[in-house]
């Protein structure tokens, strides 16, 4: 079988290491299922992204929906990143890092009145509006507070990102954003909104995009709108590209951040404004692994199953997106044959699987597997289905091991719940 390795998560003498720490040692200390993150992977990815666009005025806003652990957020904040928050809860988490509120963007297709009020009270950099009714509501709430709200419109450029339909957000049939004609109409009627200052134009066409062309098409379309507004007297402060840059989970032929910059910087240089980016998956996905114990090997007729102690409630992506995550043993044993099996969890759902008909090295009961590329959309989508406790999260920094979130207890599951 093939083994998936990165600069900071790789095999040394046939044992899987996260930076300088053996996966087996972490399992002995903290048990499984267990999320483990490489801090230096996060740092390296951020610096690569930042350096790629060094010749233009830009700002990165970490999309914390990919991984909202406080220590992960803080890693990027310390590097100078802003944060893209998508809810009141994410804003609450971001503020716990001590980030300046002027480096927070409040996004989301369905913001509540309370979320809008909180964003205004905290003086976030901008509120990203996704419908005309939302613009009207922001104006009303800002009026009640005698404030001027900084607002950008998320415009839907109707571009096919060629990704999984559940994470495509830039087509007119998707719920996200405002179509270009309506956005232009809102910008032109800006004087109607006495308590709004339109500060920018935003897009986000999808997630896990592995070709540059959809970005180039969308940026070009959005630039036309930018120049139309400029000609009509509206000078915008920023142009927000969103996120969506794909990473390698398997054998995707994705582009590098340097290639992305080379293609897009000439487009950005035409614009007289700051360029904003909202990467999430790109920064975190391949910096995390989910470690799990093999409970049983099972044969049903011709079908083989490897049953592990992690489940869909710990990592949901394979169940809802049919997403690929490479799965490999934490120790390469000599003389083991490869098998073809489904790797499944213990939850009471047929959809509780991590891989189907996957070629994998034979692993015995009581041994351990690593589910790779689990640093994004892992714990953020985890649940307590079947009354299962969510895993602990560990951050590794070279030789240091930090418990950044302990494993839930059963008492956590009963918090504020009563028998009546």
Both structure tokens of 282: 């790109």
275 and 325 belong to one structural domain: no
What mean pLDDT do residues 242-267 have?
91
357 and 217 in a single domain? The answer is no
Residue 44's φ and ψ, nearest 5 degrees, are: -65, -45
Statement: the pTM of the whole predicted model exceeds 0.85: yes
Domain with 17 in it: what CATH number?
2.40.37.10
335 vs 369, more confident: 369
Question: Residue 109 — very low, low, confident or very high, per pLDDT cuts 50/70/90?
Answer: very high
**What confidence score (pLDDT) does residue 138 get?**
98
Residue 168 has pLDDT above 60, yes or no: no
Q: What is the largest CA-CA distance in the chain?
A: 74
Q: What pLDDT sits at residue 254?
A: 81
Provide mean pLDDT across the span 249-275: 93
Q: How many domains does the chain have?
A: 2
CA atoms of 384 and 382, how far apart (whole Å): 7
Q: Which of 251, 348, 387, 419 is catalytic?
A: 348
Report pLDDT for 205.
Answer: 85
**Closest of 385, 413, 208, 406 to residue 314, by C-alpha:** 385
Please state, for a pLDDT cut of 70, what percent of the chain lies above it: 96
Residue where one domain finishes, among candidates 279, 297, 319: 279
Full residue range of the structural domain in which residue 375 is found: 9-38+285-413
On whether the CB atoms of residues 62 and 283 are closer than 8 A, the answer is yes
Is pLDDT at 112 greater than 50 in this prediction? yes
Q: Is position 91 within any domain?
A: no
In a domain, 98, yes or no: no
User: Which tokens go with 52?
Assistant: 């790629």
Domain for residue 143, yes or no?
Answer: yes
Task: Point out the annotated binding site for substrate.
Answer: 281, 317, 321, 349, 377
Under a CB-based contact definition with an 8 Å cutoff, are residues 244 and 207 in contact?
A: yes
CA distance 365 to 400: 30
Overall residue count recorded for the chain in this entry: 420
What is the per-residue pLDDT for 120? Answer: 97
Task: Kindly state whether residues 289 and 275 are assigned to the same domain.
Answer: no
Same domain, 273 and 388: no
Q: Check whether 160 has a pLDDT greater than 70.
A: no
Distances (CA, A) of 153 to 148, 160, 167, 195, 280: 16, 20, 20, 15, 20
User: Quick check: is 348 catalytic?
Assistant: yes
Query: Quick one: 291 and 256 in the same domain?
Result: no
Would residue 390 count as lying in a domain?
A: yes
Q: What is the mean pLDDT of residues 78-92?
A: 97
How confident is the model over 324-337, as pLDDT tens digits?
A: 999 999 999 988 99
- Would you say 176 and 204 are in contact if contact means Cβ atoms under 8 Å apart? yes
In a domain, 54, yes or no: no
Is there a single domain that holds both residue 386 and residue 252? Answer: no
Which residues are part of a known binding site?
A: 244, 278-281, 317, 321, 349, 377
pLDDT of residue 258: 97
Domain boundary among 279, 307, 332: 279
Q: Specify whether 139 is located in the same domain as 191.
A: yes
At 295-341, the pLDDT tens digits run 999 999 999 999 999 999 999 999 999 999 999 999 999 889 999 99
Residues 271 and 289 in one domain: no
Task: Give a yes or no: residue 382 inside a domain.
Answer: yes
Query: Does 290 lie in the same domain as 275?
Result: no
Distances (CA, A) of 61 to 64, 123, 243: 9, 16, 9
Encoding tokens for residue 17? Answer: 């290491």
| 28-79 pLDDT per residue, tens | 999 999 999 999 999 999 999 999 999 999 999 999 999 999 999 999 999 9
Q: How far is CA 112 from the centre of its chain?
A: 22
In a domain, 90, yes or no: no
173 and 227 fall within a common domain:
yes
Residue 169 confidence (pLDDT): 44
Q: Which of 279, 294, 321 is the last residue of a domain?
A: 279
Domain membership flag for residue 45: no
In this structure, what CATH number is given to the domain that contains residue 210? 3.20.20.10
> How many CB atoms neighbour CB 126 within 10 A?
24
Are 273 and 200 in contact by the 8 Å Cβ rule? The answer is yes
Name the binding residues for pyridoxal 5'-phosphate: 244, 278-281, 377
Looking at the structure, tell me whether residues 241 and 145 fall in a common domain: yes
Residues 167 and 311 in one domain: no
Provide the pLDDT for residue 129.
96
């Amino acid at each position: 079988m093939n083994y998936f390795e990165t600069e900071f998560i790789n095999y040394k003498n046939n044992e899987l290491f996260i930076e300088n720490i053996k996966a087996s040692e972490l399992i002995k200390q903290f048990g499984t299922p267990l999320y483990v993150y490489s801090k230096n992977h996060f740092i390296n990815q951020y610096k690569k992204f930042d350096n790629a666009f060094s010749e233009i005025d830009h700002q990165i806003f970490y999309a914390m929906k990919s991984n909202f652990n406080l220590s992960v957020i803080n890693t990027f904040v310390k590097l100078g990143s802003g944060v893209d928050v998508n809810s009141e809860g994410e804003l609450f988490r971001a503020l716990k890092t001590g980030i300046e509120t002027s480096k927070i963007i409040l996004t989301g297709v369905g913001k509540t009145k309370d979320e809008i009020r909180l964003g205004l009270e905290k003086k976030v950099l901008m509120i990203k509006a996704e419908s005309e009714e939302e613009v009207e509501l922001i104006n009303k709430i800002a009026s009640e507070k005698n404030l001027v709200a900084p607002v950008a419109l998320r415009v839907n450029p109707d571009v096919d990102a060629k990704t999984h339909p559940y994470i495509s957000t830039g087509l007119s049939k998707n719920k996200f954003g405002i179509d270009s004609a309506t956005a232009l109409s809102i910008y032109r009627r800006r004087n109607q909104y006495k308590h709004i200052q339109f500060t920018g134009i935003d897009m986000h066409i999808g997630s896990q995009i592995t070709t540059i062309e959809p970005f180039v098409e969308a940026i070009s379309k959005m630039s036309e709108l930018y120049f139309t507004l400029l000609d009509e007297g509206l000078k915008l402060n920023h142009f927000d590209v969103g996120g969506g840059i794909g990473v390698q989970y398997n054998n995707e032929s994705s582009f590098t951040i340097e290639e992305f910059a080379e293609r897009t910087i000439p487009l950005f240089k035409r614009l007289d404004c700051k360029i904003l980016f909202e990467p999430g998956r790109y920064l975190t996905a391949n910096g995390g692994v989910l470690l799990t114990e093999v409970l049983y090997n099972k044969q049903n007729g011709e079908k083989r199953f490897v049953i592990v102690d992690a489940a869909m409630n710990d990592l949901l992506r394979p169940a809802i997106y049919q997403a690929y995550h490479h799965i490999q043993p934490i120790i390469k044993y000599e003389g083991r044959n490869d098998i073809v099996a489904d790797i499944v969890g213990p939850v009471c759902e047929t959809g509780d699987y991590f891989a189907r008909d996957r070629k994998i090295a034979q692993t015995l009961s009581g041994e351990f597997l690593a589910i790779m590329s689990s640093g994004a959309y892992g714990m953020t989508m985890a649940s307590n289905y079947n009354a299962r406790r969510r895993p602990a999260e560990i951050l590794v920094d070279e030789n240091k091991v930090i418990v950044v979130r302990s494993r839930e207890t059963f008492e956590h599951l009963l918090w504020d719940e009563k028998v009546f």
